[in-house]
Structure 1
Amino acid sequence: MCGRNPASPYVELAVEIFAMLADATRVRIVLALRDGELSVNTLADIVEKSPAAVSQHLAKLRLARIVATRQEGTRVFYRLANEHAARLVSDAIFQAEHALSDSPAHHSQPDAGAAR
């Protein structure tokens, strides 16, 4: 059965993914990881949270298979597990822009359709 069918068994899982992303810090983390992998400390600087807080959010995103890791010595690097999380978050941001403007900024950007 197609996953986009209203009777799809994936609907409940999709709701869980939305719930996982219903946190501003997690959305910021996904946005920060769009262009490649980053360490916890770098992510903490970008999202302006403590490394401990970012690490907790990353653990949840990892359990949800939204992010994946790579270890290099004692450092752990995080990346998006696939392109869909970035696209989902970008589309949510675009929808938010539509809610606030009749002429959202993403319509005037050359790569508006990209997950960037």
Structure 2
Amino acid sequence: MIPAAEAAAQLMRSLSHPQRLLVLCALVDGEKSVADLREELGIEQVPMSQQLMRLRADGLVEARREGTTVFYHIAQGEALSVIQAMHTVFCAPVSKTPGGRRERS
């Protein structure tokens, strides 16, 4: 159980930066180019490169080059499962109930 806890803690450290989390959420549905990620997320080149470098170093994403274009995808099944769960909880459409409370649909 100790090695699993260490691996989980490392994954949580990798996910603890908002831009890294955004990148992983954008990749939850599959591979995207750096240009597509930048456009979708509104992250400038330098911070995007830094976050992708960290995600690669942590083994969460892998890159594939096609000509001058670099494509990224989530490399770990564990990371994908966690990101999908977080996406369901935090990114699902929100609606208001008649009493004014916010409710996820």
Question: 2: CA distance between counterparts of 1:67 and 1:18?
Answer: 15
Q: Does 1:51 align with 2:45?
A: yes
Between Structure 1 and Structure 2, the one with more strand by share is 2
The structure 1 residue matched to 2:73, chosen from 59, 73, 79, is 79
Q: How far did residue 67 of structure 1 move?
A: 0.4
Q: How far did residue 35 of structure 1 move?
A: 2.0
Cα offsets for 1:17-51 (capped at 9, x unmatched): 10110111111111111222111121111111102
Q: Does 1:104 align with 2:98?
A: no
Aligned length: 97
Cα gap change, 1:37 to 1:94, in 2 (>3 Å): closer
The structure 1 residue matched to 2:31, chosen from 16, 34, 37, is 37
Helix, strand or coil: the match of 2:6?
helix
Question: 1: CA distance between counterparts of 2:89 and 2:52?
Answer: 25
> Runs (4+) of structure 1 moved beyond 4 Å?
100-103
Number of the residue aligned with 1:65: 59
Normalised by the size of structure 1, how large is the TM-score? Answer: 0.70
Question: 2: CA distance between counterparts of 1:11 and 1:33?
Answer: 25
> How well do the aligned residues superpose, as a CA RMSD in angstroms?
2.2
Structure 1 stretches lacking a partner, 5+ long: 1-6, 106-116
Question: 1: CA distance between counterparts of 2:16 and 2:80?
Answer: 14
Fraction of identical pairs, as percent: 29
Cα gap change, 1:70 to 1:96, in 2 (>3 Å): closer
Number of the residue aligned with 1:25: 19
Amino acid across the alignment from 1:71 = R
Q: How far did residue 102 of structure 1 move?
A: 7.6
Helix, strand or coil: the match of 1:57?
helix
Normalised by the size of structure 2, how large is the TM-score? Answer: 0.77
Q: How far did residue 86 of structure 1 move?
A: 2.6
